[in-house]
């Protein structure tokens, strides 16, 4: 056991946990909604079995994602997707759980949690696969499993605390977006199709790519957020001008 922990790529584990905390808030809401109408005695079972099923499905999808990233040009695609996911993280978005309906049976609640997690976790899967890419191939699935097993309970049981911290300290979200940009930049230059480039063979190439990716995400995300806020203020101002005088 001690040997397992001593050989873990702790930076990648930390990234996986941060990614799930930032991108997994909706999953906790889904679990709460799906189990809301269950009898009190079945709610804990619904949460535990639904979460276990969601974790198992996510491990399968992440395994496929890690495997596919070994194909030429797919790391470039995955890296660019991560840049967009990081940018989107900084933008205001509509509630993704509007269509989740509470279930009255335990089996239905478990199905709802698993299916909703599959649909809503595409960004998590891509980000986790990118974070795991930094580790040795033999360690990747182990650290992914370890990171998910640590982070999923934190999302489920500590989601309200996490959301309050994010609301109180907006820089946490900015840092999270920058982290996704860093991983995305590293993925792009780590593609096997670019392995012959002498420029990318330099020792600091991945660090520079990560910094560029993080900078792009933060500047683009904050710029778009400001633009959307100005547009909303302008729209409200126009609406106020159109109100009839009493």
Which range has the worst mean pLDDT, 11-25, 110-124, 151-165, 182-196?
151-165
Domain membership of residue 110 (yes or no) is yes
CA distance 158 to 166: 12
Residue 83 in any domain: the answer is yes
Q: What is the pLDDT of residue 163?
A: 57
- Percent of the chain having pLDDT more than 90? 7
pLDDT score at 12: 74
Q: Is residue 4 part of a domain?
A: no
Q: Which range of residues forms the domain containing residue 223?
A: 10-232
Q: Give the pLDDT of residue 197.
A: 81
The encoded tokens of residue 68 equal: 């596919």
Largest CA distance in the chain: 76
Yes or no: say if 185 and 210 are a contact pair by the CB < 8 Å rule. yes
Query: What is the per-residue pLDDT for 218?
Result: 94
Task: Assess if residue 5 is contained within a domain.
Answer: no
Q: Average of pLDDT values for 117-139?
A: 72
Residue 3 lies in a domain: no
Burial pattern 224-243, b for ≥16 Cβ within 10 A else e, equals: eeeeeeeeeeeeeeeeeeee
Average pLDDT over residues 132-153: 71
84 falls within a domain: yes
In a domain, 143, yes or no: yes
The pLDDT score that the predictor gives to residue 209 is: 92
Region 70-77: what's the mean pLDDT?
84
Q: Is the pLDDT of residue 7 over 70?
A: no
Please identify which residue in the block is written with the tokens 């905390």. Answer: 21
* Of 6-10, 12-16, 80-84, 223-227, the least confident: 6-10
113, 51 contact by CB (below 8 A): yes
Q: Which range is most confident: 28-37, 131-140, 217-226?
A: 217-226
CA dist 234 and 136 (Å) reads 51
Higher-confidence residue of 123 and 230: namely 230
Mean pLDDT of 140-169: 68
Q: How many distinct structural domains can be found in the chain?
A: 1
What's the CA gap between 20 and 39, in Å, rounded? 29
Comparing 37 with 83, the larger pLDDT belongs to 83
Q: Could you tell me if residue 238 is inside a domain?
A: no
Mean pLDDT, the chain, whole residue set: 76
10, HSE (Cβ side, Cα atoms, 13 Å):
4
pLDDT in tens, 161-189: 665 666 677 787 888 888 888 988 988 88
Whole-number pLDDT of residue 214:
94
């Amino acid at each position: 056991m001690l040997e397992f922990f001593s050989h873990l790529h702790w930076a990648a584990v930390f990234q996986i946990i941060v990614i799930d905390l930032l991108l997994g808030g909706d999953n906790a809401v889904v679990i709460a909604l799906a189990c809301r109408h269950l009898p009190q005695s079945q709610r804990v079972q619904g949460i535990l079995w639904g979460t276990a099923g969601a974790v198992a499905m996510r491990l399968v999808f992440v395994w496929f994602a890690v495997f596919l990233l070994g194909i030429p040009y797919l790391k470039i695609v995955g890296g660019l997707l991560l840049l967009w996911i990081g940018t989107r993280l900084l933008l205001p978005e509509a509630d993704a759980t509007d269509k989740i309906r509470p279930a009255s049976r335990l089996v239905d609640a478990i199905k709802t949690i698993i299916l909703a997690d599959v649909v809503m976790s595409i960004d998590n899967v891509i980000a986790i696969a990118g974070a795991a890419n930094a580790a040795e191939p033999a360690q990747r699935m182990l650290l992914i499993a370890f990171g998910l097993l640590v982070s999923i309970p934190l999302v489920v049981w500590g989601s309200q605390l996490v959301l309050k911290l994010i609301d109180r300290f907006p820089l946490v979200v900015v840092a999270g977006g920058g982290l996704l940009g860093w991983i995305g930049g590293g993925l792009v230059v780590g593609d096997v199709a670019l392995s012959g480039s002498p420029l990318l063979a330099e020792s600091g190439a991945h660090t520079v790519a990560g910094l560029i990716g993080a900078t792009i995400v933060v500047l683009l995300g904050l710029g778009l957020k400001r633009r959307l806020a100005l547009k909303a203020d302008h729209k409200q101002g126009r609406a106020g001008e159109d109100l009839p005088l009493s």
